[in-house]
Amino acid sequence: MRAIDIATKVNSGEVTAQEIIKQTLNTIKGKNPSLNAFLEIFEEDALKRAKEIDALPQGKKGRLAGVPVAIKDNILYEGHICSCASKMLANYKAPYTATVVKKLLKEGAVIVGRTNMDEFAMGSSNENSAFGPVKNPLDLTRVPGGSSGGSAAAVASGMVPVALGSDTGGSIRQPAAFCGVIGIKPTYGSVSRYGLTAFASSADQIGPITNNIEDNELVLSIISGYDKKDSTSKTCPTKKQTKQNLTVGIPTDFVANLENETALAFKQAVELLKSKGIQIKEVSLPHAKYAAPCYHILTSSEASSNLARFDGLRYGYTAQNTKDLEDTYLKNRTAFGPEVKRRIILGTFSLSSAHAGDFYLQAQKVRELIKQDFQKALKEVETIIMPTTPNGAFKIGEVEDILTLYLADLFTCPANMAGVPALSIPFGKDKNNMPLGLQIYANYFDEDLLYKTAALVEGK
Ligand code: GLN
C-alpha cells in the first residue's frame, strides 16, 4: 500500500496504526533474515507509537499517520543505537533526534528500524558494512547498491513504503536504481542535516526512497525546510513561475559513451518523452566528467576531518590495555573498516600542506566549473536527463577494483558537486533483467520539476 493510502485509512479509522505496524513487523521478521536490510527493528517502540497515534482524534493523526518508516543507520533517533554500520559506533546510542525524524514523527510516521549501509556511507554496494552485506531483493546474489542499500532493499522488498537514505555522491539514487525504486537527492541545504552523522558536510543530503512518486513528493515536502540547527540550511524560495510545457535537456557530451542496455534504455526514455510532445534539447556539461574524481578528493578530505572525532576518547570504540597515547589512538582507530581507512588516508594526504594545492584546491575549482555548467544548461531547459548508473546491479563480490567502484558514481556525483537536486526512477532493464534507473536533474529548489518530468516518463 502507498504511504498516502495508509495515512488516509488510518485517519479515517478504516484501519488502525497498530494493525499496520504489527503487519509490517511480521513482514520484516519474515524477509529480513535473507536480505540483511535492517540492522535493528524497533519493535516495542514502534508498537507504542502506533498505539499513541490510534488514540489521536480521527483526521488529526498527521499526513503520515501509521506509515512505517525505516531510517538509515547514520540518522539519529534518541535512545536508539546509531552505528553507521561500523564497529566504531556499534554501541553508540543517539543522544537526540534528527530534525528529519522529528518532522516525520510529528506527521504520525512510525520509525520501525534502522537500515544497513556501507560503513559511514562510503561505498556503492553495501559490501562495506561491518555487519554483513545487504542482498538485492530482486536477486539475492546481487548487491542492492550503496551506501543506502538497506533502505532501498527495505522499500523494494515491500517491508516498508518509505525509507530515508543519505546521498553524498549517489547513495540514495544508485541503490534506488539497482533495486527498482524511486530516490531523490534534494537541493543542498533544503533538508536539515542536524542529526545526520557527517561524511562530507558540503555534499551530504538526506532524502526519501519510496516505490511511487506521490509518496516521495509527500515525504520530501515534510522533511524539507529551514532548520536553525543546521548552518547550511536554507529557506526554500517560494515557487518560481515555471513554463507550462517542459523542455528536457540531453547532455550529449556527457552521455556519449553509454554502453549496452543503458544506452538502449536512455534512448527509449528520450523517444518516450518526444512521443508525448516534450521538447528535447541538447545541452553541454563539459566538466561533468570530472565530477567523480573531484568528488573523491573533496569528500575524502572532508571525511578525514569529520571522522577525526571517532578516536575512542571523544566518540567510538575504546581499546583496552593500551600502553600510551599513541598506542591508544592506533588501537582505537582499528575499529574502522578498510574503505573508511582508505578515505581518511586519501583525504589527509589531499589536505596536507605539501599537496593541498595540487588536489584539494584544484578540486574546489573544478567543482565551481561543474556548478557553472549546470547553471548555463538549466537556463535553456527545465530538467536534464541521464542514466543513474552505467550498469545494473552486479554480483556480490564481483567488483574488486576500487577505481571501478568509484567510477560507478559517474552520473550521480555531479548533482552533489553542483548542489542541485536529482531524482532516480526505474526505467529499463539490463541483460540480467535487473532494473536500470533514469536520472532527472533540475535547478536549485526545482524538485517539483523533477517529479513533473518523472510523472511524464511514467505516463501520468
Ligand atoms: N558511492 C559513493 C561513495 O562511495 C557515494 C557515497 C554516498 O553518497 N554516501 O562515496
Q: What is the pLDDT of residues 396-450, one digit of tens each?
A: 999 989 888 888 899 999 999 999 999 999 999 999 999 999 999 999 999 999 9
**Separation between Cα atoms, residue 77 and residue 79, nearest integer Å:** 6
Note whether 151 and 216 are within 8 A (CB): no
Nearest CA to ligand 1 atom 5: 169
SS3 206: strand
**Separation between Cα atoms, residue 446 and residue 10, nearest integer Å:** 31
Ligand 1 centre distance from Cα of residue 54 (Å): 39
Return the best residue to mutate from 409, 410, 413 for the ligand 1 pocket (most ligand atoms within 8 A of CB).
409
Ligand 1 centre distance from Cα of residue 441 (Å): 18
Q: Say which of 151, 171, 190, 424 is annotated catalytic.
A: 171
Instruction: Output the pLDDT for position 94.
Output: 98
SS3 274: helix
Amino acid identity, position 131? F
Return the best residue to mutate from 147, 172, 343 for the ligand 1 pocket (most ligand atoms within 8 A of CB).
147
Per-domain residue ranges for the chain? 1-460
Instruction: Name the grid cell of 170.
Output: 549517489
- Pick the atom of ligand 1 nearest to 416's CA: 8
Instruction: Output the pLDDT for position 437.
Output: 98
Cβ–Cβ contacts within 10 Å for residue 338, how many?
10
Cα angle, residue 267 at apex, residues 264 and 270 outer, rounded to 5°: 155
Q: Say which of 72, 103, 135, 452 is annotated catalytic.
A: 72
Q: In this predicted model, what pLDDT tens digit does every residue of 344-372 receive, in sequence order?
A: 999 999 999 888 889 999 999 999 999 99
Instruction: Name the grid cell of 353.
Output: 600542506
**Separation between Cα atoms, residue 444 and residue 429, nearest integer Å:** 30
Residue 147 catalytic? Answer: yes
Helix (H) or strand (E) holding 247: strand 247-251
Instruction: Output the pLDDT for position 243.
Output: 65
Helix axes 149-156 and 17-35, enclosed angle (nearest 10) = 120
Q: Which residues line ligand 1 (CB under 6 A)?
A: 121-124, 147, 167-171, 199, 409
**Separation between Cα atoms, residue 455 and residue 460, nearest integer Å:** 5
Q: Which residues contact 174 (CB under 8 A, 6 or more apart)?
A: 124, 145, 146, 388, 389, 408, 409, 412, 424, 437
Residues of the chain below pLDDT 70 = 239-243, 460
Instruction: Name the grid cell of 198.
Output: 557527517
Nearest CA to ligand 1 atom 1: 124
Return the best residue to mutate from 73, 84, 120, 124 for the ligand 1 pocket (most ligand atoms within 8 A of CB).
124
Number of H helices, E strands in the chain: 15, 11
Q: How far is CA 225 from CA 106, 159, 205, 208, in A?
A: 14, 28, 13, 14
Instruction: Output the pLDDT for position 88.
Output: 98
Per the DSSP assignment, residues forming a β-bridge with 435 are: 429
Q: What are phi and psi of 244, to 5 degrees?
A: -65, -45
Q: Which residues contact 271 (CB under 8 A, 6 or more apart)?
A: none
Ligand 1 centre distance from Cα of residue 66 (Å): 31
- Pick the atom of ligand 1 nearest to 169's CA: 8
**Separation between Cα atoms, residue 125 and residue 68, nearest integer Å:** 25
Ligand 1 centre distance from Cα of residue 344 (Å): 14
Domain covering 1-460 assigned CATH 3.90.1300.10 in the classification: yes
Q: Say which of 125, 147, 192, 350 is annotated catalytic.
A: 147
Q: Name the one residue in this structure whose C-alpha cell is 555548467.
A: 373
Ligand 1 centre distance from Cα of residue 42 (Å): 27
- Pick the atom of ligand 1 nearest to 123's CA: 4
Ligand 1 centre distance from Cα of residue 145 (Å): 10
Nearest CA to ligand 1 atom 4: 123
Nearest CA to 163 out of 148, 178, 151 is that of 151
Residue 171 catalytic? Answer: yes
Q: Locate the DSSP E strands across 178-330.
A: 182-185, 205-210, 247-251, 279-283
- Pick the atom of ligand 1 nearest to 148's CA: 9
Ligand 1 centre distance from Cα of residue 168 (Å): 6
